[in-house]
Structure 1
């Protein structure tokens, strides 16, 4: 049987993506015990620190009847030079799925190539599909299907932005990206998105009429040494009440967290009535439970 991985949103068909969004909301509403992953074990290799990704996957496995084993680089032989391919071969004979949260996207691709079990991208430098899956669940729960809507991404053209580019294609919405010159997403990903993507350097234009406005920190993990340079470059790209006022009246605001109030978003917007960031954070748990059920049971 072919092993299914989840390295980017394009590893799912549009129909499968919509199924997972619906299933995540169903699992969220479920009150009675449900343990489809009884005796299943998830291996978790994290090169980067995490709050939401780690807790949501570990809690999700427990709630579905399974267990999770967490490994930092210090807890495995990877930190002592064991080839990634060897770790993939060995670990995938002992667990039923693996989550990798790593610096380089190539790492998760190489690991998946040698794994006997499903591999999930818990974050790389290029993509963060698990977060965007939760974001889409949140939008669907508050506003219904996102097809045909306008989404504004304001800030760095980072891994989150690039997963939003894939979501726009899969779920048929228009993504307007506003970022400073030099901080755009990968040109090839913009080309692949075609009419689903509009790139500019003007936050006001991107926000105008938007149904959803999304941002992220200006300096991601590993870019701390660029903080001062990025802070200067991103002046004018803060999501403020003035920016939100350009959006549609029922527009939502999202941020994958952690947030830096007063930098990429004002405290007024983050804590305001259009913000759904706490629902969005909680939905990491439910979206990942749906993903785990999908990948670790035989139905797919």
Structure 2
């Protein structure tokens, strides 16, 4: 394995929080993707022995929980699952108290919660790095894995077009912000009334203008995906929106990412989905299992992207 040659952009991340994709600079985002690729290829070995990551997840999780745990293990550290049902978090202990106490025990906190404001409260009171492991507003770790997958497929991401079709949700927000930093042309295709948050859209467009990309919102699926290099979708009803499921399925009729839409994209296009997927609703079985699919590579890349992030935040480089 090669010796680590620290990238100054990564060194700057030590001890910081990641609450939003926009917390990173363009150089830091690119450096994290390169570090993730190097770790995946086993070109580097990073030692975080003695470091402990605490997980506070108030929402269900498979990929995020497992990938963070395995990432810390591979880096030589360990993970504590601080399930709110078996800690005082679930009994209403104030965030200010929990964050300050846990900061005395662990070296970083990865938090999955319904509200971005709660995550920000943890970051305010904690004295260790706080990582957004998904909130109602963003999913920045997912976006890092997504663009790592795009980089693997095309060699680079700058100038590529990523078309996201579906609800303008937390995943869409992080794809917009992260893509804007990387010079990607991001299209969000959605029915009227399901657009991304206006403030996030404005922020992502400003970042895109500074880095050679663009962010557009379209309301017709074929126009959204035409000639795109990556086609991406997510569930139509996120966690916490279960009561809206039937209504949303009616609203999203015609928006299934299927073989017909894939045929409208660039011939080299890849298909992405952050999972879990509901075949026949937001994506067809043929698109998931077809030759263009990189969905399970994308899921694996959660591990590698989070290894890179943890190594940078915890001073392992």
> Are the structure 2 counterparts of residues 55 and 288 from structure 1 closer, same or farther at C-alpha, using a change threshold of 3 Å?
same
Name the count of aligned residue pairs: 298
Instruction: Select 2:110's aligned residue among 94, 99, 107.
Output: 99
Deviations 1:188-219 (A, max 9, x none): 22222226211111010010110111000011
Deviations 1:240-270 (A, max 9, x none): 1110111001011100000000000100011
> Are the structure 2 counterparts of residues 178 and 35 from structure 1 closer, same or farther at C-alpha, using a change threshold of 3 Å?
closer
CA contact (8 A) 1:134 1:283 kept: yes
CA contact (8 A) 1:36 1:297 kept: no
**Corresponding residue for 2:27?**
15
Q: Structure 2, unaligned stretches of length 5 or more?
A: 1-11
Deviation at 1:178, TM superposition (A): 0.9
The CA RMSD over aligned residues, in Å, is 1.4
Instruction: Select 1:111's aligned residue among 113, 122, 137.
Output: 122
Q: Structure 2 matches for 1:56-135, cutoff 5 A?
A: 56-135=67-146
1:29 is aligned to 2:41: yes
Return the alpha-carbon distance in structure 1 between the equivalents of residues 202 and 51 of structure 2.
40
Q: Structure 1, unaligned stretches of length 5 or more?
A: none
Deviation at 1:151, TM superposition (A): 1.0
Return the alpha-carbon distance in structure 2 between the equivalents of residues 265 and 178 of structure 1.
14
**Corresponding residue for 2:307?**
289
> Are the structure 2 counterparts of residues 280 and 92 from structure 1 closer, same or farther at C-alpha, using a change threshold of 3 Å?
same
Instruction: Select 2:171's aligned residue among 156, 160, 184.
Output: 160
Deviations 1:42-95 (A, max 9, x none): 010000111000100111111111100001211221221211111001101110
Instruction: Select 2:261's aligned residue among 220, 240, 243.
Output: 243
**Corresponding residue for 1:215?**
233
Return the alpha-carbon distance in structure 2 between the equivalents of residues 126 and 35 of structure 1.
31
Instruction: Select 1:177's aligned residue among 182, 188, 193.
Output: 188
